[in-house]
Amino acid sequence: MTSPDNHQKAIAIWLFICCASIFAMVILGGVTRLTGSGLSMVEWEPLMGILPPLDHAQWQETFLLYQQFPEYKLHNYSMNLEEFKSIFWFEYSHRLLGRMIGFIFIVPLLYFIMTGKIRKSLIPKLIGMFILGGLQGLMGWYMVKSGLVQDPHVSQYRLTAHLALAFIVYAYIFWVALDLFFSDQDRIRKTATNGLKQFSLLLTLLIFITVLSGGFVAGLKAGYAFNTFPLMGGRLVPESIFALSPVWKNFFENIATVQFDHRVMATLLFIIIPLFWLNAIRQDIPARVRTGAHLLLAMLGIQVTLGISTLLLHVPIPLAAAHQGGALTLFTIMLFITHELRNTPN
């Protein structure tokens, strides 16, 4: 007979697979943005729009529809059908993966419910995940709609909200999966100070805020400006940092300020994460938390290297996509550490 604990681990593995799918979705979304493909599909058909154009006539029809929108008229007016296909496939793949994630979530969910393997206390959490996933789909289309206007530019506010919600959905699913997968025994035998626990929470929040600042960099294409490091236009602080009025707009709409903010946040992480690592390894923490702290420090070095390289090389797509994936990896490791410290005695 299969034990209840084995049921919980099976559910946890399913949720980890959902997380891996969302991880892939984040990277593919970044590539879609970097290749300028996000506005190539001008209709939203969440249920019926699964099949791509299947013959030349359908491709011509889809291309003609795209030609009616400002992005084609203002920027891509010289584009031919084959060039259109190259951007269409990125956006189509992004939307198809979103549908597949829904399938990966809902089918096992129904199976676990029908076989009675899900505890009643878990059902509201799973329903919450499903609702959040649906909201993320709506947010994605809301973001795309902002670019189907006279100025064919996706709103940096909506893009950042879309990215933020992806991280929130991922974090919620990952956290619940960790609850189900790991035993408390290792935590009970070790200790961690309240200070370290609070430090981990603050660091998780700081990484998330840094991700949001990166969303504004992406939305404004700020990475294509000031391609030097550490100086920006020959200065540590760019001259145009407060060029807009009122002042608050600079933090969200000024390319120089947005890139500067992201640099500042990344620098803070570069200083604070080693301090957290040093504090953590000096305590009698669980072995897997200690391993997580080492991985966090290593990933910090990789992520900073990716970020600076992406900037200096004028945002090559492979490096930029890797940098976005690195952000989610760093966030994942920090979530794991925070989760494990939560139930470790003082």
pLDDT computed for residue 30 by the predictor? 94
Tokens of residue 121, six digits: 């206390």
Question: Would you state the pLDDT for residue 186?
Answer: 53
pLDDT of residue 2: 47
Alpha-carbon separation of residue 27 from 169, 202, 224, 265 (angstroms): 15, 25, 19, 21
What pLDDT is stored for residue 5 in this prediction?
66
User: What pLDDT does 194 receive?
Assistant: 85
Return the closest-CA partner of residue 4 out of 122, 106, 85, 101.
122
Angle of helix 56-67 versus helix 81-114 axis, rounded to 10: 100
> What residue has token string 């290593």?
298
Segment-wise mean pLDDT, segments of 10 residues, the chain, 346 residues: 68 97 96 90 72 90 90 90 92 92 94 90 93 92 86 90 96 96 66 86 97 96 94 92 95 96 97 96 90 97 97 96 97 96 79
pLDDT given for residue 1 in this prediction = 39
3-state secondary structure of 69: coil
Nearest to 270 by CA among 312, 338, 210: 210
